Amino acid sequence: MPRFAALVFLLLASPVFAVDCPDWSGARAERELAALTERLAAWDDAYHRRGQSPVSDTIYDQARARLAEWRRCFPEAAGSAEAVALPAGEVVHPVPQTGLVKLDGKAAVRTWLARRDDVWVQPKVDGVAVTLVYAEGRLERAISRGDGRTGQDWTTRVRRLPAVPERLTEPLDAVLQGELYLRLDDHVQAEAGGAGARSRVAGLLARERLDDATGLRIGLFVWDWPNGPATLAARLEGLAALGLTESAAMTHPVSGVEDAARWRDRWYRGALPFATDGIVLRQAGRPPGTAWRAEPPDWAAAWKHLPREALAEVRGVEFRIGRTGRITPLLHLRPIELDGRTIRRVSLGSLARWQTLDVRTGDQVAVALGGLTIPRLEGVVWRASERPAVSPPDESEYHALSCFRPVAGCEEQFLARLEWLGGDQGLDLVGVGPGTWRALLEAGLLNGLLDWLFLDADQLAAAPGIGKARADALQARFSAARQRPFAAWLAALGVPPGVEPAPGDDWPTLASRSKASWQARPGVGEVRAADLHAFFAHEAVQKLASRLRAEGIVDF
């Protein structure tokens, strides 16, 4: 289904779209509004002229809403960033493509349905909109959506698609509006999302040559017959008789909002041959095509799926250093809502990815929920006109054997080491988490990785937020850690993974092994052998082992 004329009509009441007025000077406001206006114009041109979607409908709509918010915030700057008109096409649609109003949630759907009768539902197919013009049953012209009034002549490329009949089964003069979509096998929207289907089908249509196998990958879903029979049931029956059976098979009457919701959920979670982004509700009775306008009508509406992604403003960039020295960039965001969750931060995964994307404060990014659970950065949507410098940590200073003490610049990796040490993969100190370690560090009680072993209850209780009862419990857990087995202590110290001490192994035995000796062990390759040898030979690790040996910890 086509993106409707968002220049005119946006129903964006959800808090995901709300933004506070930025603290900008007038000059910067002019630059930011101009940049966003230019970006929207480029998207419009790609969509309406070439049938391409550089961003999803969700991001597009939110960017339009963001521009409207900024215009309200800076009315004096809005005049310098006038909206750019949609690109005109080469061919006039015989019947305008209307677009759809978007209903926001069940309450809006219930209100819309209450004022209408004989309403039907069909999936909102995510593809590229097209108008097909038949004269005496023969395909005469195919027109891209364009701005709804005019579009590009797609006749030559559409004739290459087996899904679009060159000749109808009856010699009718007919105007059909529908969606060219990418055929997908058992596509489940809830699991796979849009799968880039719209952009992929647009890319296929843009090819100068389209072989038979590729042409078969594009299907046709006719969603309206503007000059067809007066009732929807008759139009569906007529389309089926003309050989266009898919829309007839997937358009159903609905009795109310719960019925519509069931179809929406069924098509969201069930397998379909195409991607969808919601459902379309159509009143059976509507005006003839001669009365249509290139704007959302009152006899059809879309109820879209909950957005899988959202536009977010970057408020800051943080670099976290993990136990092994891996640097993970973290973007702090102006809070957004996705699938009922408030998202305030998103990880970029690696320093290399941040360097590639060069994300900075003020940039606008697209965020999605990976597997509907973990926030994931999809990309930078546009960059702020003023971008402060960002200085990431020096990768060469952090590695698997750095930061065994909390010296300047090492606090994050040191705390990550403590969290690992006390976790279930190490000493399994139940109830001792990141907050506890940070409180002890900030109280000046931890200058080394093992200092917690020697704290008494009074010292623990003096740390902010600990208290006497908690201090007694912590001391008991710390004392019990002395009895943990040698393998648990090795893991707690951060020995490279994949090596379990054999019976009779102790620290002196393992520390005396050469690289060749390590590599001779089953499952240990050249790289792992070098890591193991470096670990046991490292001065900081040897000092930790000596301290544990002095305390009588088993096998040290």
Active-site positions read: 124
* 241 sits in which H/E element: helix 232-241
- In the block, which residue shows the tokens 């059909």? 176
Task: Give the Cβ contact number of residue 55 at 10 Å.
Answer: 23
- The CA distance from 452 to 474, in Å, is 10
Distance, in Å, from the CA atom of 438 to the CA atom of 177, rounded to the nearest integer, reads: 62
- Tokens representing 311 are 């536009």
Q: Are the beta carbons of 405 and 539 closer than 8 angstroms?
A: no
Please tell me the distance from the alpha carbon of residue 394 to that of residue 471, in angstroms, as a whole number.
37
Residue carrying structure tokens 């009315």: 75
CA dist 1 and 125 (Å) reads 6
Give the torsion through C-alpha atoms of 400, 444, 468, 464, to 10 deg. Answer: -100
CA-derived radius of gyration, the chain: 31
Angle at 44 between CA 368 and CA 202, to 5 degrees: 70
For residues 8 and 148, give the distance between their C-alpha atoms in angstroms, rounded to a whole number: 13
Question: Is the distance from CB of 3 to CB of 9 less than 8 angstroms?
Answer: no
Q: Tell me the DSSP string of 326-391.
A: -EEEEEEEEEEEETTEEEEEEE-S-HHHHHHH---TT-EEEEEEETTTEEEEEEEEE--SS-----
d(CA 359, CA 222): 42
377: tokens are 């950065």
Residue 2 tokens read as 């086509």
493: enclosing H helix or E strand = helix 486-493
Those residues whose C-beta lies under 8 Å from the C-beta of residue 553, and which sit 6 or more positions away, are 482, 486, 489
Distance CA 343, CA 23 (A): 22
Residues 249 and 93: their CA atoms lie apart, in Å, by 27
Q: For residue 154, how many other CB atoms are within 10 A of its CB?
A: 22
Dmax (CA) for the chain in angstroms is: 97
237-249 core/surface letters (b: 16 or more CB in 10 A; e: else): ebbeebebebbbe
